[in-house]
Amino acid sequence: YGSVIARFAAQALAGGPITVHGDGGQSRCFTYVADTVRGTMLAAAAAREGKPVVYNIGSREEVTIGELAGLVREIVGSRSDIVHVPYEEYYGAGFEDTRRRIPDTERAAADLGFTADVALRDGLARTLAWCRDAYGIATSS
């Protein structure tokens, strides 16, 4: 599900169907870019102090892909249908998806004091507003 937010945003802003692969029950966590940059800078500062460690920088706010599609549609104000497409139709036979992907951010919290600050809904609203402004897109219902 790489670039799923960008894909859902483009589909919802264009007023076309939002395509979800599979049943939409697979879950992921998404991190707003400002949180990612802040966490990366904290990790870089720790490395400069002689503590080079690998950290998971991310949000632990879990959402299903189906819920994400609905949230994007709601924030955009679109009437786009959410359409489920079988994996085989997009990826070919034998594709297996990871049902749940949640980062373990405990080390980043303990060592760096990092936790993501921007909630998913807020990050999506900011991202979608940026898309509208940057590309001159008006919502198409």
Give domain limits for the chain.
4-135
Amino acid 139: pLDDT: 53
Structure confidence by residue, pLDDT tens digits, 95-120: 788 899 999 999 999 999 999 999 99
Which secondary-structure segment (H or E) carries 58? none
pLDDT(52) > 90? no
Q: What angle do CA 42, 47, 48 make, to 5 degrees?
A: 100
Query: Which stretches of 11-105 are assigned E, i.e. beta strand?
Result: 18-21, 27-29, 62-64, 82-85
The amino acid at residue 113 is: G
Amino acid 141: pLDDT: 46
Rounded percentage of the chain residues whose pLDDT exceeds 70:
96
Q: Rounded to two decimals, what is the model's pTM? A: 0.89
Amino acid 135: pLDDT: 79
- Beta strands 62-64 and 27-29 are antiparallel
The amino acid at residue 53 is: V
CATH 3.40.50.2300 fits 4-135, yes or no: no
Amino acid 53: pLDDT: 85
Which has more pLDDT, 139 or 99? Answer: 99
Rounded percentage of the chain residues whose pLDDT exceeds 90:
76
Distance CA 128, CA 6 (A): 9
Using an 8 Å Cβ cutoff, are 65 and 1 in contact? yes
First to last CA, the chain: 25
Using an 8 Å Cβ cutoff, are 62 and 29 in contact? yes
Which secondary-structure segment (H or E) carries 110? none
Distance CA 132, CA 128 (A): 6
